[in-house]
Amino acid sequence: MEQYEPDRLSPAQVAAVRRSLRNGRASLTRRSLLRASAGGALAVGGIGALSGCGIPAAGTPQGGVSAEDHSEKEKTVAFSNWTEYMDVDDSGRRHPTLEAFTRRTGIKVTYTEDINDNTEFFGKIKPQLAAGQDTGRDIIVLTDWLAARLIRLGWVQKLDPANLPHAYTNLSAQFRNPDWDPGRAYSYPWQGISTVIAYNKKALDGIEVKTLSDLLDDPKLKGRVGLLTEMRDTIGMTLLDMDKDPAKFTADDYDAATARLQKAVDKGQIRRFTGNDYTADLTKGDLAACLAWAGDIVQLRADNPDIEFLIPDSGYMTSSDNMMVPNKARHKENAERLIDYYFEPQPAAELAAYINFVCPVDGVKDELAKLDEDAANNPLILPDQDMQAKSRAFRSLSSEEETVFEEKFAKLTGA
């Protein structure tokens, strides 16, 4: 059996994983349940496991492997998702949209909240995927960096457009063509995750903030600015501020962005790099302004009128959690029908009303307004066309880039 040299995680990547699980995207709960990007790192030692004995190295497209589809005879679908990432109605009844899908189609959904972070879940399913076996799941939900890796490994199936008419028609433009899955051949977004600038009006006390440069350069904000421990978000927003495209940047561009941030760190402008624990500092006013995740800001603004956000003219970062059908799934057509169902306006609106993430479905505003008018008019949940046009995504990274970039970011943040 051919042996492969493992792709070891660098110390910086290990630190990135631990930061994310402790206080980053993976640590958050409903309405701020953002996902650990972890610089593309899969686990402590996890990347090495990908290229171990008999497992193809990432970056070599293999094509998904189907199995005999039992959807016609077995009216069931197994759906694995993150915890607290499905609708609950006002009476506390769990998952009414899934119940409605079953009533309409006769397909029973086995819904399991067994994803707590990308790293841990990948560890559960990797042995079966690597061995070409059924994972026992028909739909899995993964953050874009890990979704990209599974596509490159050939461990998820290509979707049949004939079973996805609503998804194809109603998918928001900002989510249509990620570089890791152009045209959404293998995935459809479950929810979107946006990074914006947030501020406390009272703490700013009249200081004008419009750009990330204002946070990094205004001496009146010295020691009262927060940035994120998630590399893609902080570097991405910095690249945008420097008029660079995070989807196309070079290694030199990355170095220029880290140098820009290092200058702010050296002069004491940055209070600290944080995970979601910035929310307490922002609410108290210890942070006057910071980079923030939209899911948090929706929740904070409901409780504190001093919390506001802004979208810089340069743009903002967006990532996504994505529905995929793993290799050898027994009920691919049933899975596709469920994916498509959540791109119909009514179930998509019910989901958005509960979760308050970025809804990736066009045409839901009227339905959402019936449930929650404030949510329907909130651009952090339903971005308008102008806001969508400012959305940017961080490009896919090679294993080598992940290692180098995370090491440089770790040095910047003092991790």
279-322 pLDDT, tens digit per residue, is 999 999 999 999 999 988 998 998 899 999 999 999 999 999 99
Cα–Cα separations (whole angstroms), residue 394 to 25, 300, 344, 403: 16, 26, 28, 16
Instruction: Choose the weakest-confidence range: 50-64, 124-138, 257-271.
Output: 50-64
Q: What is the pLDDT of residue 65?
A: 66
pLDDT above 70: residue 331: yes
pLDDT above 90: residue 56: no
Residue type for position 200? N
pLDDT-above-70 percentage for the chain: 84
Q: What is the pLDDT of residue 64?
A: 66
The larger pLDDT score, comparing residue 357 to residue 140, is at 140
| Strand 108-115 to 188-200 pairing | unpaired
Q: What is the pLDDT of residue 192?
A: 94
CA distance 58 to 152: 6
Average pLDDT rounded to a whole number, residues 40-49 = 38
Q: What is the pLDDT of residue 10?
A: 52
pLDDT above 80: residue 17: no
Q: What is the largest CA-CA distance in the chain?
A: 67
pLDDT above 50: residue 1: no
pLDDT above 50: residue 354: yes
Backbone angles phi, psi at 186, to 5 degrees: -120, -5
Contacts of 103 (CB under 8 A, 6+ apart): none
Q: What is the pLDDT of residue 200?
A: 98
pLDDT above 80: residue 58: no
The larger pLDDT score, comparing residue 253 to residue 59, is at 253
Average pLDDT rounded to a whole number, residues 226-254 = 96
> Residue 336 has which token pair?
């596709």
